[in-house]
Amino acid sequence: MSVQSQTVARASRGSFVVMAAGIAALGGLLFGYDTGVISGAILFISKAFNVSTQMKEFIISIVLIGALCGAMSAGYVADRLGRRRTLLAAGIMFTVGAVLSASSTTVWALLVGRFIVGVAIGISSVTSPLYISEVSPAEIRGGLVSLYQFAITVGILGAFAIDYWLSGAGAWQWMLGLAIIPSLLLVVGMLVMPESPRFLFKMGQEERARAVLRRMRSGADIQQEEQTIRHALAGLQIGPAVGVVRNIRFALFVGISLAVLQQVTGINTVIYYGPQIFQMAGFQSASSSILATAAVGIVNVVLTLVAIIFSDRIGRKPLLYAGCAGMTIALLVLAFSFSLPVAQHDRGLIALMSLMVYVGCFAFSLGPIVWLLISEIYPLRVRGMGMSVAAFSNWTANFIVAMFFLTMIQSLGQRDTFLVYALLSALTLVFVRFAVPETKQEQLESIKVG
Ligand code: BGC
């Protein structure tokens, strides 16, 4: 082959790993879309089925319950059947769930559909980052796994836009049903994509593993990477040496803590209750509060690009430091704006600015980096299970924060509620400093935790 055709072949295979990551990231797009779309759709669903407030809350939260179940089981399945088949199953469930909920004529059919969608979200929240992390070369792994978070934010914003667009016609079936398009793309994409080479090595399918690795590495020399993977597997096979077990325990502790901290620093109070927060802060009309929430959604998408570009250059921990510090300051400003004697209009403006800074800082730090780190810190043999436990903790914390946010506001008041989130953001910074490893540029198998 001539030098020129070799270069062309290498470039096109280099884009293969990006394509694999992009397809797996569709799981994130659906995560964002399906959790976001209900806020607009529920207005029309509750009219169509004439449901009580409790039933309305149940229709909203059943997706989170499904996600809990999906996250809990996904690691076990992904460690046995493989990452690819598990993602394929998630794609099929996303499709079935969307068809069922969009065509439902009773509230029970809707609940079943939304539960299935939730399970698919939970499964993909474990398997998408896991798959991307395992196919990526170490030098660009941070950027590629951050694509997953980017897709989540695009999904949230897309859901918002579609709710807004279809609300005139009250077309809730279309709002829920449009998810079929990315769901089918995920199914078709995963049918075409290969299994993770690391999973294949683990299962002893070395020929296939090497072929996939070569394809994912643009024809570059894979000998060293292969050797590192084999060593890591052999090390674990020899027996659960005390050091290894301690290491896994500590990795579990770090993974669970990060996953919980990502939620208890309050991000979904803004994502789920944005318009209500803006109204508390002095926005007069519902439409201006919705518009302000959309602006925050755009900031969320755009600032995620910072993580895609910089997580492999300056590292995961510097982004976490900057992000948590910014979130803490923004939350303090927001909290105190509720007790300062300022005009209502100014308070609304302070809320808008501080929530933009808060979400922007989350978008390049705790958002993408948590999903990235929990896909990196576990040894291959238990990686699926480890991610499952972390993702399950993330969904549990998500559920609790979403359930109790309004109660917290009622009992603590607005200022103290946001002070609690500010304190937890500062605590996250300290936790990152002392417990979290820097994984930038490291081969997955060389990452040491603890
Ligand atoms: C979190 C979600 C959140 C989203 C916001 C994700 O990383 O896991 O709970 O809604 O970021 O962009």
3-state helix, strand, coil in the chain (%, to 5): 85, 0, 15
Task: State the pLDDT at residue 219.
Answer: 76
Query: Is 53 or 26 the better-scoring residue by pLDDT?
Result: 26
| Section 91-95 average pLDDT | 98
> What one-letter code names the amino acid at 413?
G
Task: State the pLDDT at residue 239.
Answer: 47
Q: From the alpha carbon of 368, which atom of ligand 1 is closest?
A: 7
| Section 62-68 average pLDDT | 96
Pocket perturbation via mutation, ligand 1, pick of 268, 269, 273 by most ligand atoms within 8 A of CB: 268
| Section 27-53 average pLDDT | 93
Distances (CA, A) of 377 to 154, 363, 439, 440: 27, 21, 8, 12
Nearest CA to ligand 1 atom 8: 367
Nearest CA to ligand 1 atom 12: 153
Nearest CA to ligand 1 atom 6: 367
Is the pLDDT at 12 greater than 60, yes or no? no
Token couple for 224: 């060293």
Ligand 1 in reach of 271 Cβ (< 6 A):
yes
Is the pLDDT at 230 greater than 80, yes or no? yes
**Main-chain phi, psi angles of 75, to 5 degrees:** -65, -45
Q: From the alpha carbon of 363, which atom of ligand 1 is closest?
A: 12
Task: State the pLDDT at residue 275.
Answer: 87
Task: State the pLDDT at residue 341.
Answer: 87
Confidence band (pLDDT; 50, 70, 90) for 266? very high
Ligand 1 in reach of 162 Cβ (< 6 A):
no
Query: What tens digit of pLDDT does each residue of 167-177 get?
Result: 889 899 999 99
Distances (CA, A) of 272 to 25, 35, 38, 276: 22, 9, 10, 9
Task: State the pLDDT at residue 6.
Answer: 52
Residue 227, C-beta contacts closer than 8 angstroms, at least 6 positions apart: none
Confidence band (pLDDT; 50, 70, 90) for 8? very low
Ligand 1 in reach of 267 Cβ (< 6 A):
yes
Ligand 1 in reach of 449 Cβ (< 6 A):
no
Q: Poorest-confidence range of 2-11, 45-54, 168-177?
A: 2-11
Is the pLDDT at 390 greater than 60, yes or no? yes
How far is the C-alpha of 296 from the C-alpha of 274, rounded, in Å?
9
What separation in Å is there between the alpha carbon of 436 and the centre of ligand 1? 20
Token couple for 325: 């510090």
Confidence band (pLDDT; 50, 70, 90) for 100? very high
What separation in Å is there between the alpha carbon of 428 and the centre of ligand 1? 16
Residue 295, C-beta contacts closer than 8 angstroms, at least 6 positions apart: 352, 356
Is the pLDDT at 344 greater than 50, yes or no? yes
Ligand 1 in reach of 153 Cβ (< 6 A):
yes
